[in-house]
Copies of this chain bind each other. A is one copy, B any other.
Amino acid sequence: MTVSITDVAEATGVSASTVSRALRGRPGVSEEMRARIVAAAAELGYTASRSASSLASGRTCTIGVVVPYVGRWFFGTVLDAAEKVFSAAGYDVLLYNLGSPEARKRFFTKLPIRKRVDAVLSLLIPDPEEATALRSLDVPLATTVGGARPGFTVVGIDDRGGAESAVRHLVNLGHRRVGMISGASEPLHWTTPLDRRRGYLDVLADAGIEPDPALETDGAYTVEGGERAMSELLALRHPPTAVFAQSDEMAMGALRALRRHRLRVPDDVSVVGFDDHELSEVIGLTTVAQPVAAQGREAARLLLAQLDDPDAGPADPVEMPIRFILRETTAPPHSRRQR
């Protein structure tokens, strides 16, 4: 049978309230008594029922984390870092993995998270209705991707500036036909693809290059998508000499497509990614690095701070540093002929 607080109380010869106070470290218990109670609890293998204690106290000691795809490197890494902060602070993590539109819809209409969590960290940007639903939870909210949302603490990066540095690098090398592999078609409503696209267009405009819609393809933020997108670009009458992929995973897909087409990187085509995936260095991919784990940690930290100070609103937006990393997948156009 499961051991409850009264068992510990009886074993120690005190009341349940004293046991409760003692075990939670609340004041008003003599150290001697506390020690006895702790010992008895340990011996009996007692653990407080979270259901009962949250029903009584109103606090769940649980944080909800909403993720589009746990399996993807970026989200897995953010989650890993955030979970460590939460669990170190004594919170449990309730995970919601909303990859499919159905799962996502089910979640936001039924909102199974209501009354279950003390705060929510969303790794996907909710659309306006979803944001409203989350706000109706009436708990602190934070997010690590994309633009500001009222009521949310947001920890992010300068996506536009990052994209600019990547594309400017290509333009400076002399490329005039610069393709882009983005993830615009995803049903995620995050601002990341849009911001990165804006950076891309900014640099082209600066350089006096007329943007060509045919050079923008959709890679759905996956390796396979990136491969497909690159193939489309190569099928063009005038294929690009350089490609900016909005994520390293899509860039890796692009590299695969190029290899299949027997094109050399960077001699025939240059490729730049974004994120600095843990395997990008292995591959030698030029990219824009962002501090992924740090974003998860920071968002978690801010959420906990909000939890400690109940009448604090969301924290000010935090922008984490990014940096361009030159590796081996970029070179001047047709550098092959210059040898």
Residue A71 lies at the interface, judged by CB distance under 8 Å to chain B: yes
Chain A residues numbered 86-137 whose CB sits less than 8 Å from any CB in chain B? 87-88, 92-97, 99-100, 103, 106, 110-112, 114-116, 136
The answer to whether A84 and B99 touch across the interface, beta carbons within 8 angstroms, is yes
> In the complex, which residue of chain B has the Cβ closest to the Cβ of A252?
B282
Interface residues of A in 55-70 (CB under 8 A from B): 55, 60, 62, 65, 69-70
Q: A312 CB to closest chain B CB, in angstroms?
A: 21
Q: In the docked arrangement, what's the CA distance between A70 and B76, Å? A: 6
B83 & A72 in contact (Cβ 8 Å cutoff): no
Among listed A43-51, A204-212, A315-323, interface-contacting one: A43-51
Q: Known contacts A47-B110, A49-B55, A279-B252; is A94 also within 8 Å of B92 by CB?
A: yes
Any chain B CB within 8 A of the CB of A236?
Answer: no
Q: Which residues of B contact A278 (CB under 8 A)?
A: 223
Q: Copies per complex?
A: 2
Q: Annotate A277-318 by CB proximity to B: 1 below 8 A, 0 otherwise.
A: 011011110000000010000000000000000000000000
A73 located at the interface, meaning its Cβ lies under 8 Å from any Cβ of chain B in the complex: yes
Q: Does A253 contact B (CB under 8 A)?
A: yes
User: A281 vs B224: C-alpha distance in the bound complex, in angstroms?
Assistant: 11
A49-B115 in contact given A93-B94, A95-B93 (Cβ < 8 Å) = yes
In the complex, whether A177 has a CB less than 8 A from a CB of chain B is no
Interface size on A, residues (CB 8 A): 57
In the complex, are the beta carbons of B47 and A55 less than 8 A apart? no
- Whole-angstrom CA separation of A309 from B248 in the bound complex: 45
Among A65, A72, A76, A256, the most chain B Cβ lie within 10 Å of the Cβ of: A76
Per-residue CB contact flags for chain A residues 188-230 toward chain B (1 = under 8 Å, else 0) read 0000000000000000000000000000000000010000000
Partner of A282, one of B70, B92, B96, B256: B256
Using a CB-CB cutoff of 8 Å, which residues 70-86 of chain A contact chain B? 70-73, 76-77, 79-81, 83-84
Q: Which residue of B lies closest to A107 (CB)?
A: B87
Tell me the smallest distance from the CB of A84 to a CB of chain B, in Å. Answer: 7
CA separation between A152 and B73, bound complex, in Å?
Answer: 29
Query: Which of A52, A115, A281 neighbours the largest number of chain B CB atoms within 10 Å of its CB?
Result: A115
Q: Let me know if B115 and A51 touch, CB within 8 A.
A: yes
**Residue A2 at the B interface, CB < 8 A?**
yes
- CB pair A47–B111 under 8 Å, yes or no, is yes
Cβ < 8 Å to B, chain A residues 252-283: 252-253, 255-256, 259, 278-279, 281-283
A57 and chain B: residue at smallest CB distance: B51
A94 contacts which chain B residues (CB < 8 A)?
62, 92-95
With a cutoff of 8 Å between Cβ atoms, the chain B residues found around residue A69 in the complex are: 80
Q: Chain B contacts of A62 at CB under 8 A?
A: 94
B71 touching A60 by the CB < 8 A rule? no
| Contacts A71-B77, A71-B81, A94-B95 supplied; 9 other A-B pairs, CB < 8 Å | A2-B115, A47-B112, A49-B55, A55-B55, A70-B79, A70-B83, A71-B73, A76-B76, A252-B279
